[in-house]
A and B are shown apart, each in its own frame.
Chain A
Amino acid sequence: EVQLVESGGGLVHPGGSLRLSCAASGFTFSNYWMNWVRQAPGKGLEWVANINPDGSGKRYVDSVKGRFTISRDNAKNSVYLQMNTLRAEDTAVYLCAREASLWGRGAQVTVSS
């Protein structure tokens, strides 16, 4: 089955860290750009980061630059988002997306004291 499954979400204190994972299956993972998109409670969608097929190119939205790192392991068909120095405004459902054509169900990240 063609799918993306996120994991690693949870509750973390401000200033803390979390690592999200996204496992892909059913397609040739190494052919695609992969993305992280987030949706804050009751809000719209915001692109967070993306990475090119071989992992050599990464881009971030300004609000997470220097704090978040996207990476991938094509041998494991997985993409990751390392999130450091988390803030309350990072609270959101984080969605993994294969370009824009396939989306996961998301992982909830809550930053609160």
Chain B
Amino acid sequence: EVVLTQFPLSLPVTLGQPASISCRSGHSLVTSDGNTYLDWIQQRPGQSPRRLIYNVSNRGSGVPDRFSGSGSGTDFTLKISRVEADDVGVYYCMQYTHWPHTFGQGTKLEIK
């Protein structure tokens, strides 16, 4: 099983400030045809998960451009350029290059 390690696990951020979450994989997430199936998922309190970023760096439908994803191979990053109150929740990286698909432990973002 591919282990995804996120850091930090807790992220207190001041409104309007940037935030960054890292995700490291125990195995390369690059497929034989060159794709990398690494997504970022947001789960607000009491809500269903929502996909923010797919295939490392593509924003999902309706996702503000404050959110961006980057990385390659085994190291990936989610950045929020200016944190808003609505961003409070838990953020997961998720890989579906290998079965079983796996999630990181989650990073809890809170407002300072």
Contact = CB atoms under 8 A, between A and B. Distances in A.
Instruction: Answer yes or no: do A and B interact.
Output: yes
Interface string A85-113: 00000000001010011011110000000
Nearest to B43: A45
A44 B106 CA distance: 7
A44 B105 contact: yes
B79 interface: no
Contact of B100 (A44, A61, A101, A105): A61
A97 B99 CA distance: 16
Interface in B72-112: 90, 92, 94, 96, 99-106
Contact of B94 (A50, A62, A100, A104): A100
A103 B50 contact: yes
Interface residues of B, number: 22
The majority secondary structure among interface residues of chain A is strand
Instruction: Kindly state the interface size class of chain A when it binds its partner.
Output: 10 to 19
Contacts, number: 45
B96 A100 contact: yes
A100 B92 CA distance: 12
A104 B47 CA distance: 9
A45 B51 contact: no
A46 interface: yes
A103 B48 contact: yes
A100 B51 contact: yes
B48 A100 contact: no
B48 A106 contact: yes
B67 to A, nearest CB: 15
A44 B100 CA distance: 15
- Counting from the closest, the 8 A-B pairs by CB-CB distance are A47-B101, A103-B48, A45-B103, A61-B100, A44-B106, A103-B49, A100-B51, A100-B39
11 contacts: A44-B105, A44-B106, A47-B100, A47-B102, A61-B100, A100-B39, A100-B51, A101-B54, A101-B60, A104-B48, A106-B48
Interface of B: 39, 41, 43, 48-51, 54, 60-61, 90, 92, 94, 96, 99-106
Interface of A: 35, 37, 44-47, 50, 59, 61-62, 95, 97, 100-101, 103-106
